[in-house]
């Protein structure tokens, strides 16, 4: 926990030193560990966190059966327990820890036997006909959506929180008069602590740049 908090503070300090006017913590684990700390440290800066898209899943499938895939740390965080408690009377929610799954994305493995074998081993015990939705509770997991669909079948809806995070970011920028009114395109800058060219190339591939 302390390591995640320290790394999150370092990242925020770097981004703000480069002129960032808002920060999105694009990680459920880092949000749980460090969002409150960052908001206390930088009260004037919009700090937008992420959380598994459990609320929209329950709204779309009231009384349904919902699986939440997430990292072990996210699932064990108090923040996730509170989130799950909010909806435990409105749907059946099963959380599935997926240790090592995000590393497939970081290694550039998005489909194929290795990742599908992993998914079957972790998801198959939970894949009952009653499952209505699968929530991707890590921001790495949407890149594995195709492989996840292969394993869970056609019935369950697969949800992630990306659109909600984008809407929240836009709303916060507008509220604080920080939105850029120009219509011209901007630019994307990648920063990585390893400074590894392969990582930058993978980021460009993942973001279709």
Q: How many CB atoms lie within 10 A of CB 35?
A: 19
Strand residue runs (E) in the chain: 23-24, 47-48, 65-70, 92-97, 131-136, 157-159
- Which of these is catalytic: 27, 67, 115, 136? 27
Can 27 be counted among the known catalytic residues? Answer: yes
Q: Residue 11: is it exposed, middle or buried by C-beta count within 10 angstroms (0-12/13-18/19+)?
A: middle
Q: Sheet holding 92-97: strands in order across?
A: 92-97, 65-70, 131-136, 157-159
- Which of these is catalytic: 30, 138, 147, 148? 138
CA–CA dist 209, 27 (Å, integer)? 21
Can 203 be counted among the known catalytic residues? Answer: no
Annotated catalytic residues are 27, 138
């Amino acid at each position: 926990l302390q390591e995640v908090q320290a790394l999150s503070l370092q990242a925020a300090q770097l981004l703000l030193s480069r002129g960032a006017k808002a920060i999105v913590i694009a990680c459920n684990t880092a949000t749980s560990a460090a969002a409150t700390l960052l908001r206390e440290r930088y009260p004037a800066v919009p700090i937008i966190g992420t959380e598994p898209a459990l609320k929209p899943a329950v709204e779309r499938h009231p009384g349904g059966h919902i699986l939440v895939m997430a990292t072990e740390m996210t699932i064990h965080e108090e923040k996730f327990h509170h989130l799950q408690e909010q909806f435990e009377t409105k749907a059946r929610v099963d959380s599935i820890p997926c240790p090592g799954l995000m590393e497939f994305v970081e290694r550039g493995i998005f489909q194929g036997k290795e990742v599908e074998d992993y998914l079957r081993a972790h998801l198959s015990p939970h894949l009952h006909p009653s499952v209505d939705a699968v929530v991707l509770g890590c921001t790495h997991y949407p890149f594995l959506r195709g492989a996840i669909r292969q394993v869970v079948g056609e019935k369950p809806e697969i949800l992630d929180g990306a659109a909600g995070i984008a809407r929240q970011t836009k709303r916060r920028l507008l509220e604080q008069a920080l939105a850029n009114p120009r219509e011209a395109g901007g630019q994307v800058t990648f920063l990585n602590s390893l400074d590894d060219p392969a990582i930058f190339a993978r980021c460009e591939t993942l973001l279709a740049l």
